[in-house]
Amino acid sequence: MSSTVETCVTSHGLTPMTLTAKTSDGKLLSIPFSESSATITELTQPAPTGSRAKALFLLDRFAVSDEFYHELAQIFPEMPRLYQIKGLRKDMNSEIEIFSLPQSYVGRYMKVKNIVEKTLGETLEKLGVQASPPTVTIKFSGDENHTFASVKGPEEYEFLKACFEPVWRELQELIEYPFLCINGTQIQLDIVFGSDYKNYTFSRPDKHLGSRHPPLLQLEPSHYVLDELHLLLRVSDVLVRNVIHLADHLDQQSGLRAGRARHYIPCLEKLVQSCGVPFKISP
């Protein structure tokens, strides 16, 4: 069982140290995960479970519901009570400014400048930097650790342009005036964007080579970080789609409408499957 638990925990980027279990007669056992020690010891007192803040972090980190935590706390009375967790969550939320998106869009956003100031200050303090550096590079990407905006809807240009209008405006202001005051020192920001922002930040004047729409942010191409894998996947998506459309077109031309069975689509499916990739085209 311990190996199963260890696999589950490590899949979330954590390193398990011990597992505390309770026997049917109420004894607490500590099971180590270390390869150098395989001794199971009996605990005379309940192992410390951490503060409310740690419990709240785990709930948010692993998307654990309040109902599940309530049932778990009933089994382990030494854990913080659910009402304490809810109270701490409410207090923390009250300290964060969260704004609604315009119109009727289902989503929220936080001030970009405030997030950057807070994150940058905490990072410099964590690294033990005594004097703030004159220039700091800040990267904005769609898959990073600090989320400042979210919305329910399609990943389409017009939709994102409208719903995130205040976010784009704040980002543009930060691009045009890339300076922040951290610990009394003015820091210049070197702002770059990841490849998943390319459809919204980068375009070319040539109508044949540029994007369909004008960029939502005015940013120099030198501040755009290329991701070769991301671009390769984009290109491969287009190529696969074109091959599927071609096979379907050939089937149509060969008399599919007259009641004949498909030929090119099944051949394409078998060809891709022969590479060891599950592949099936829905009719």
Tens of pLDDT, residues 198-239: 555 544 445 555 566 778 888 887 777 777 777 788 788 889
The mean pLDDT value of the chain amounts to 78
Same domain, 136 and 55: no
Mean pLDDT is lowest, of 105-109, 129-133, 164-168, for 129-133
In the chain, the DSSP E strands lie at: 18-22, 28-32, 41-43, 99-100, 107-109, 135-140, 149-151, 179-182, 185-193
Please check whether residues 107 and 172 belong to one and the same domain.
yes
Q: Is 198 part of any domain?
A: yes
pLDDT score recorded for residue 173 = 93
Residues 6 or more apart in contact with residue 37 via CB below 8 angstroms: none
Q: What is the pTM of this model?
A: 0.54
Q: Does 279 score more than 80 pLDDT?
A: yes
Q: Which domain holds residue 214?
A: 100-226
Whether 278 maps to a domain, the answer reads: no
Q: Identify whether 279 is part of a domain.
A: no
41, β-bridge pairs = 30
Examine the domain organization and report whether 152 and 117 are in the same domain.
Answer: yes
Judgement on whether residues 109 and 199 belong to the same structural domain of the protein:
yes
The reply to whether 282 falls in a domain is no
**Same structural domain, 112 and 204:** yes
146 shares its domain with 248: no
> Is there a single domain that holds both residue 108 and residue 167?
yes
Q: Which of 94, 127, 145 is the last residue of a domain?
A: 94
Domain total in the chain: 3
d(CA 41, CA 148): 45
Residues in a beta bridge with 187: 180
The reply to whether 110 and 57 lie within a common domain is no
Is 59 within 8 Å of 86 (Cβ atoms)?
A: no
DSSP bridge partners of 179? 188
Q: What is the average pLDDT across 166-182? A: 90
pLDDT > 60? residue 1: no
